[in-house]
Amino acid sequence: MKVLITGIAGFIGSHVAEYLQDAGHEVIGIDNFSDYYPVDLKNKNAADLREKGIIVLEADLRETSSIAQLPNGIQYIFHFAAQPGIAATSTFEDYLTNNVIATQNLLNYALQQTSLQLFVNIGTSSIYGLNATFPETEAPKPASHYGVTKLAAEQLVLCSSRLNQFKACSLRLYSVYGSRERPDKLFTKLLDCGLNQKEFPLFEGSLSHLRSFTHVSDIVKGIVSVIGKEEICNGEIFNIGTEAEYTTQQGVDAVEKLLNTKIQFKHLPPRSGDQQRTKANIDKARKLLNYNPTVTLEEGVAEQLAWFKNL
């Protein structure tokens, strides 16, 4: 099967690319190598993928000239490319152009792919809002520019399904961690601070936040579980994550135990838009996709530590 992955040099996209290549699929990817976080990390991911025979194109989905570089004959599209997070350095235009305009451009390309079997949009639990504990039928209440624009992108994709242009679905991911996690994310930053005697920037109230910390290997299993289930998935939304719920404090504790050290905090004011609770309701994914995450927090953090030490 010929697969296109957007955002292929990023955290989750690179893992899915490797999985699909190892499974015997032909994988082609695109990434704009944004400097939202250090480009050398994306370059390393891309180099590892190219060594496996995966084609990685450097192009920007916001530009129609970049869309023209994409190959034809694509059977599956996994759309990861987005402006992530709720960083103060990101403008509304960053979210709008990367998450909405780029998605529409990709959909225009998808319309030309007569062999397309399924367009898989990669969404986020941030679509639900400050508390993400609901089934997929719950009305979204996003509380950040990130969540709002990811909801818009999701609806653009599902609109194509409703118009019978091609089959499409959306997967809302929950609190993903593991090897290749971005430097600004929780566990990579905790490991860096614990190993290198740095202060961890702690936003007021965040230690009590509840999260469905889900290891990237469990996320990959959920994402690829849609393959071969095009009719079942068409027009649907699925939550992908673990039902296990942890506080941020428990995440800190897991890292401190693994490193046998105490992490020092730099206390900061509360961050606007931060989710207070995420708990993946995966009843639908379990029933229709046979999805069952298994990696414990301790196992996942140990895997991420091994990766971090080899950076």
pLDDT at 37: 86
Per annotation, catalytic residue among 36, 37, 109, 146: 146
**Location of each CATH 3.40.50.720 domain in the chain:** 2-176+213-240
Residues of the chain predicted below pLDDT 50 = none
Residue 146 annotated to the active site: yes
**Distance from CA of residue 153 to its chain's centroid?**
14
Amino acid occupying residue 87: A
pLDDT at 270: 86
Q: Where does 178-211+244-273+295-309 sit in CATH, by number?
A: 3.90.25.10
Please check whether residue 287 is in contact with residue 281, taking contact to mean a CB–CB distance below 8 angstroms.
no
Query: Two tokens at 254?
Result: 């897991």
Q: How far apart are the first and last CA of the chain?
A: 32
Cα–Cα distance, 226 to 207 (Å, whole number) = 34
Closest CA to 84 of 188, 5, 205, 182: 182
Is the backbone of residue 43 left (phi > 0), alpha (psi -120 to 50) or beta?
alpha
pLDDT at 167: 98
CATH T-level fold of 2-176+213-240: Rossmann fold (3.40.50)
**Location of each CATH 3.90.25.10 domain in the chain:** 178-211+244-273+295-309
pLDDT at 88: 75
